[in-house]
Amino acid sequence: MKTELIPTYTIRDISEGFEYNALEGKGLYGLAGKLTIQPEYQRNYIYADGKRDVAVIMSLLKGYPLGLFYFNKPTKDTLEVLDGQQRITSFGRFITDKFAIKDENGMEQYFSGLAKDKQEIVLNSTILVYECEGTETEIKEWFKTINTAGIPLNDQELLNAVYSGPFTTKGRAEFSNSQNANVAKWGAYVNGAVIRQDYWERALEWVSKGKGNIAGYMSMHRYDDNIREVKEYFNNVIDWASSLFKDVEKEMSGLEWGRLYETYHSKKYDLNELNADVQALYGDGYVKNRRGIWEYLLGGKSDMNLLDVRVFDEPTKKATYVRQTKEATRTGTSNCSLCREGHQSSKTKIWRIDEMDADHVTPWSKKGSTSPENCQMLCKTHNRAKGNR
């Protein structure tokens, strides 16, 4: 790969013909159309937060350097930004009055309202650009190793870079576009940030049956001109979840809906019962892990570990142990109520407290509470055999 340092670009040069696409939230072109600011493998513009974008402008006004920029030279007459897209989009947006900075008196100032000498300072600032020429593979390999203005690319952003092409472009237009009207609905099931590729990543993870399969899937479909399969699968998962569960609770966002769909979508459920169960568990103070409620119900209420139900505390266990042991000594029977009813030698065995576990007399699943009145101590063998807390 060949690189050449070009020291003479001014902000005026780069910003000439600057276009910003508000709908997709990205800078498009500069250098009078010669420079593509956001090639398809680049991340979306994320500096528009009134802090990082403003910091770029304040640096220019103070004469601080903006750091190095890297442009790729795909053809003799075109350039694309490899590194520096966030900074370029920031000053491009400022010069076209898309956001304001605060002046020394704390007043908001747009570029067109700045004093002429300040405007000139901004426009005449120069930036240091490395122009690189290399094969697509070289450029992308190299791109993987650099940080974009201090924010490392996340996994999916890297995959987008490595597998750029029509498939990734279409996927991002659908799943990385915060203007997509479906995002609000999807957000009930998917968490993370649309523009950091979290939704696109989920869609790929679900259709490829696991995060570890995304790279392979993207490679196989790289030159597809559509994302039909991804979209269809994603919608199937969302539609399935929303058809089963009437109430949308915040804990549902970010669950592994793809895996749940794969495991349970052919199972039939009584919707009234299912939704009543969700409500009951959601309001149950003994359920410590609410995020486990949906999978617990989908799985037929068999895996109590998902709910992390509150257990008896030590003082309750100790008091119950003392009470049962006293009674057992008096009557010459075992202090485990199930051993006592048996016919083995343990019929009269007095267990130590560390050989016993607390158990719900009325099981928690049958509305038995985790209170002292509903506590009994069983020997470990019997408690395990009973299985239901």
Decide whether 183 or 338 has the Cβ nearer to Zn ion.
338
Options 63-71, 258-266, 302-310, 371-379: segment touching Zn ion (CB under 5 A): 371-379
Report if residue 382 touches Zn ion, rule: CB under 5 A. Answer: yes
Report if residue 339 touches Zn ion, rule: CB under 5 A. Answer: yes
First to last CA, the chain: 65
In the set 338, 363, 369, 372, which binds Zn ion (CB under 5 A)?
Answer: 338
Residue listed under structure tokens 């009437």: 246
Options 200-208, 216-224, 233-241, 332-340: segment touching Zn ion (CB under 5 A): 332-340
Sign of CA dihedral 189, 191, 196, 202: negative
Decide whether 95 or 339 has the Cβ nearer to Zn ion.
339
Q: Least distance from C-beta 371 to Zn ion, angstroms?
A: 22
To which H or E segment does residue 27 belong?
Answer: strand 26-27
Decide whether 153 or 336 has the Cβ nearer to Zn ion.
336
Tokens representing 384 are 């395990």
Residues 177-216 that bind Zn ion (CB under 5 A): none
CA–CA dist 78, 291 (Å, integer): 51
Q: What are phi and psi of 249, to 5 degrees?
A: -105, 150
CA–CA dist 217, 207 (Å, integer): 9
Options 13-21, 261-269, 283-291, 373-381: segment touching Zn ion (CB under 5 A): 373-381
Decide whether 61 or 338 has the Cβ nearer to Zn ion.
338
In the set 82, 122, 336, 358, which binds Zn ion (CB under 5 A)?
Answer: 336
Tokens representing 276 are 């009543």
Report if residue 379 touches Zn ion, rule: CB under 5 A. Answer: yes
Options 30-38, 185-193, 205-213, 333-341: segment touching Zn ion (CB under 5 A): 333-341
Decide whether 118 or 323 has the Cβ nearer to Zn ion.
323
Decide whether 37 or 328 has the Cβ nearer to Zn ion.
328
- Looking at the DSSP bridge assignments, the partners of residue 101 are 109
Q: How many positions of this chain bind Zn ion (CB under 5 A)? A: 5
Decide whether 136 or 341 has the Cβ nearer to Zn ion.
341
SS3 readout for 270-330: CHHHHHHHHHHHHCCCCECCHHHHHHHHHCCCCCHHHCCECCCCHHHHHHHHHHHHHHHHH
Q: Pinpoint the alpha helices (H) of the chain.
A: 11-15, 52-61, 85-95, 116-124, 136-145, 155-162, 166-175, 183-186, 198-207, 214-221, 228-244, 257-264, 271-282, 293-298, 314-331, 337-340, 380-386
Evaluate whether 334 touches 346 at the Cβ level (below 8 Å). yes
Report if residue 328 touches Zn ion, rule: CB under 5 A. Answer: no
Q: Least distance from C-beta 379 to Zn ion, angstroms?
A: 3
Options 26-34, 175-183, 206-214, 376-384: segment touching Zn ion (CB under 5 A): 376-384
Q: Least distance from C-beta 301 to Zn ion, angstroms?
A: 26
Residues 31-90 that bind Zn ion (CB under 5 A): none
Decide whether 100 or 338 has the Cβ nearer to Zn ion.
338
Q: Residue 105: how many CB atoms within 10 A of its CB? A: 6
Residues that bind Zn ion (CB under 5 A): 336, 338-339, 379, 382
